[in-house]
Copies of this chain bind each other. A is one copy, B any other.
Amino acid sequence: MSRSRTDSIADDLEEMIFTGQFKDGDRLDEIRLAARFNVSRTPIREALQRLVSSGLAAQMPRRGVFVRQPGPVELLEMFETMAEIEGVCGRLAARRISDTALQDLAAANARCQDAIAARDTDGYYRENQLFHQIIYRQSGNGFLEKEALRLQHRLKPFRRIQLRLRGRMAQSMAEHETIVSALTDGDAGRAADALRDHVAVQGEKFHHLMSHLKSSA
C-alpha cells in the first residue's frame, strides 16, 4: 500500500497540531504550507480536507481552514465519550473475549509493570495503549473497534500528559487488574463499569493537571 504525498503531509500536519506548533485559530495558509513542503497547493488542499474531516481543523468557505484545538469543555466531552465507548467495548468483550486474548491482556499488563519498574514512561504508554486495543478488538465488533481506535488516536496528545502525575501509572495498573478480572469472569456490567471509570479518571486527572497549570501560570 503506497503512500501518496498527500498522506504524509496530512500526517505531518496532524503531528504539528498535536504538538502545538499551530495554535487554536491559526489559519493554515495553503501557499505557505506548499512552500514549506515543496509541493503545489493541490496536495496541501487535500491534506487540509482530511484535517477538517477528522475534526482537527475547521473550514470557512472562501476564507480558509483554521486549526481548532479543543477547549476544556470539549476535552472533557471527548474523554467522557471515550470512557463510555470503552465501557461499551468492555461490556461486549466480557461475553466474547477469547482465552488467548485474556492471556494477551495479562502479557501486556506484565510489560506495563516492567515499564513502570524501569521508569520507562514511553514504554508504559505503548503497552497501555495495546492493552486497550486488545479490548476494542475483543468487542467482536470491527466497526466499533475502528471508532474506538479513532477516538484513542484523537485523544493521544492529551492522554500522555496525565501519566506524569505521581503514582498515576501504579493506580492505572491496579485498574487494569480489575478490568482483566471482570473480563475473565465474563461479568459484562463490572467490565463496563471498570473500563468506564478507568478512562473517566484519566479525563479528570487531565483536567486537574490543566487547571493546576493554568492557575500557576
Binding site for B on A (CB under 8 A): 1-4, 42, 45-46, 49-50, 53-54, 61-62, 73-74, 77-78, 80-81, 84-85, 87-88, 91-92, 141-144, 147
Tell me the complex Cα distance, A121–B87, Å: 35
User: Which B residues are in CB contact (< 8 Å) with A42?
Assistant: 42
Contact B53 A143 (CB under 8 A): no
Query: Which 8 pairs from chain A and chain B are nearest by CB?
Result: A77-B143, A53-B53, A84-B88, A81-B144, A77-B141, A2-B61, A78-B143, A81-B143
Which among B3, B61, B78, B144 is the interface contact of A61 at CB below 8 angstroms? B3
Residue of B nearest to A154 (CB): B143
Shortest distance between the CB of A73 and any CB in chain B (Å)? 8
Tell me the complex Cα distance, A2–B63, Å: 11
26 contacts between A and B (CB under 8 A): A2-B61, A3-B61, A4-B61, A4-B62, A42-B42, A46-B46, A46-B49, A49-B50, A49-B53, A50-B53, A53-B54, A73-B142, A74-B143, A77-B141, A77-B144, A80-B92, A80-B141, A81-B141, A81-B144, A81-B147, A84-B88, A84-B91, A84-B92, A84-B144, A87-B88, A88-B88
Shortest distance between the CB of A191 and any CB in chain B (Å)? 14
